[in-house]
Amino acid sequence: MRRRTAAVGIAVLGLGALTACGGGGSTGGPIDSRGPIDIWYSNNEQELAWGQQLVEAWNAEHPDEQITAQEIPAGRSSEEVLGAAIAAGTAPCLVFNTAPAAVGQFAKQGGLLDLAQFEGGAAYIEERSGDLAAQYATADGQYFQLPWKSNPVQIFYNRELFAEAGIDPDDPPLATYDEFLETARTIVDSGAAPYAIWPAPTSEFFQIQFDFLPLYAAETGGTPLLDGEDSTFASEEGLAVAEFWHTLYEDGLAGNEKYTGDAFADGQAAMSIVGPWAIAVYEDVDWGVAPVPTSHGMSADEIWTFSDAKNVGLYRACDHPATAWEVLKFATSVEQDGKLLELTGQMPLRRDLAETYADYFAANPDYVAFGEQAARVVEVPTSPNTVAMLQALRDAWSGSVIFGGPDADLRQALEDAAAKFDDLARQP
């Protein structure tokens, strides 16, 4: 009996020790604190180059507030790494790759600082990004993210494959759903490519941003998925988008299997639905670009799409938030935004982009369409439950549009997803 008591005692002591260990990590410094900071940025070649020049430029001028930079540690996704870092108190001051879908959740965890609490914080963001900034604010005007850069999603097409299929690559008929479907059939029937388009048909929550969301944004003229606490997509416009994709899958024009690689870069699909970050990946493809289609067609300057934005978060674990805020403003200055555009081809979320960087767009005509599109982008909701909402929509989409077969009840699927969406939107 006594030995058992001793064993239980040791176990309790062990648990106590472990529990005591649980409270580690930094709780961050006061908001006006200045000093050295650390930042994380993305690990792709182009953004690394931008990040490194940013650090060099800042450090040269600020010997007492040096930046230590590193790539975001490897993990299944940046969001999971950041979520773990928040809980452990090891997040850096700034992360130049914070996905908007995760921001609400990070804020609920207490991982992010509200940028509006810095002097002139909200005004700076709104001045830089214009009307687009509102999509990144919470309902009560807090900014837990600085809108940094977007990758407006458009339709890339392979000019060679289009020509092979007998479609004019300089003016491909892709504006309306009917035109798009006809073009897709021509491509597949001609044997130019096994599929016309091949977005990832997989079940991850974020994939809904690259099939439904761009076309829904276009069809509705920029309506977000959530209006207050009510979803918007169980509508005639949402149904039209679902029917369009359903036809692509049912007619074998879009692949419904996971492709291990890039189907567009490998010539397995003649079109791709993606933002300008992919241009570097498609360097061996003779590509053209067109806006996402709408049911009846619209002029390009009226079309909205999904932003595929990545933003900057200022994390609570930061010991010197005042310096971090200054670095954030420096990193999103006209000069640094210009360098970002130049080095990465991604669009700073800055109003009057085309005018501000007119020289760049004149020298790089491939990017003009993306620069113009960047003014009309829709973002995902800022709710703490955004990921769960997108997963609910994705599950409904997978079950009906992609794998539902010819008799799939698309309207019911959207309504079911909308009910879950609304329920999640009302949860804290």
Partner 1 sequence: MTATATTPAAVTPRRPRRKPLGANPLGILFSAPYLVFVIAIFAFPLAFSVYMAFHDYFFTAPGFEADRPFVGFDNFRNVLTDPLVWRSFGNVGIFLLINVPLTVVLSLVLATALNRIVHARAFYRVAFYVPYVTASVAVVAVWLFLFNGDGLVNTLLGPLAPDPSWLVNSGLAMPTIALFVTWKGLGFYILLYLAALQAVPKELYESAQMDGAGKVRSFFSVTVPSVRPATLLVVLLSTITGANLFTEPYLLTSGGGPDGASVSPALLIYQRGIQQGTPDTAAAIGVLLVILVLVVAWLQRRFVGGEGR
* Residue number with CB closer to partner 1 (113 or 279): 113
| Helix runs in 385-425, H state only | 386-397, 410-425
Q: Interface with partner 1 includes 159 (CB under 8 A)?
A: no
Instruction: Check the CA dihedral 331-335-338-344 and report its sign.
Output: negative
Q: How many CB atoms lie within 10 A of CB 61?
A: 8
* Interacting residues of 402 by C-beta distance below 8 A, sequence separation 6+: 201, 245, 249, 256
* Residue number with CB closer to partner 1 (8 or 334): 8
* Residue number with CB closer to partner 1 (91 or 132): 91
* Residue number with CB closer to partner 1 (275 or 384): 384
20, 64, 140, 260: residue in contact with partner 1 (rule CB under 8 A): 260
β 269-274/377-378 pair status = unpaired
Specify whether the CB–CB gap between 148 and 312 falls below 8 A. Answer: yes
Stretch that binds partner 1, among 51-59, 281-289, 374-382, 400-408 (CB under 8 A): 400-408
Amino acid occupying residue 75: G
Specify whether the CB–CB gap between 252 and 188 falls below 8 A. Answer: yes
* Residue 28 CB, nearest approach to partner 1 (Å): 7
Spatial CA neighbour of 214 closest among 272, 167, 171, 147: 272
Tokens of 323: 């310096």
Residues 107, 111, 115: CA angle, nearest 5 degrees: 65
Q: Interface with partner 1 includes 105 (CB under 8 A)?
A: yes
> Which residue has tokens 């209006």?
227
* Interacting residues of 76 by C-beta distance below 8 A, sequence separation 6+: none
Show the site string, 68-87: x = touches partner 1 by CB under 8 A, - = not: -----------xx--x--xx
* Residue 214 CB, nearest approach to partner 1 (Å): 20
C-alpha distance from residue 80 to each of 106, 112, 218 (Å): 11, 15, 30
* Residue number with CB closer to partner 1 (379 or 416): 416
> Which residue has tokens 């998925």?
225
89, 130, 173, 297: residue in contact with partner 1 (rule CB under 8 A): 89
* Residue number with CB closer to partner 1 (4 or 140): 4
* Residue number with CB closer to partner 1 (108 or 351): 108
Spatial CA neighbour of 242 closest among 406, 402, 418: 402
Stretch that binds partner 1, among 47-55, 104-112, 220-228, 363-371 (CB under 8 A): 104-112
Show the site string, 168-207: x = touches partner 1 by CB under 8 A, - = not: --------------------------x-----xxxxxx--
* Residue number with CB closer to partner 1 (202 or 223): 202
Q: Interface with partner 1 includes 399 (CB under 8 A)?
A: yes
Tokens of 70: 């590193």
Show the site string, 203-232: x = touches partner 1 by CB under 8 A, - = not: xxx---------------------------
Q: Interface with partner 1 includes 387 (CB under 8 A)?
A: yes
Residues 187, 191, 194: CA angle, nearest 5 degrees: 80
* Residue number with CB closer to partner 1 (27 or 68): 27
Residues 309, 315, 317: CA angle, nearest 5 degrees: 160
* Residue 180 CB, nearest approach to partner 1 (Å): 23
What torsion, rounded to 10 degrees, do the Cα atoms 179, 183, 184, 189 define?
Answer: 140
Instruction: Please provide the DSSP assignment of 232-261 as one string.
Output: --SSHHHHHHHHHHHHHHHTTSB--S--SS
* Residue number with CB closer to partner 1 (208 or 347): 208
* Residue 109 CB, nearest approach to partner 1 (Å): 5
Q: Interface with partner 1 includes 317 (CB under 8 A)?
A: yes
10, 134, 300, 363: residue in contact with partner 1 (rule CB under 8 A): 10
Q: Which residues bind partner 1 (CB under 8 A)?
A: 2-3, 6-7, 10-11, 14-15, 18, 23-28, 79-80, 83, 86-89, 91, 105, 108-111, 194, 200-205, 256-258, 260, 316-317, 384-385, 387-388, 391, 395, 398-399, 402-404
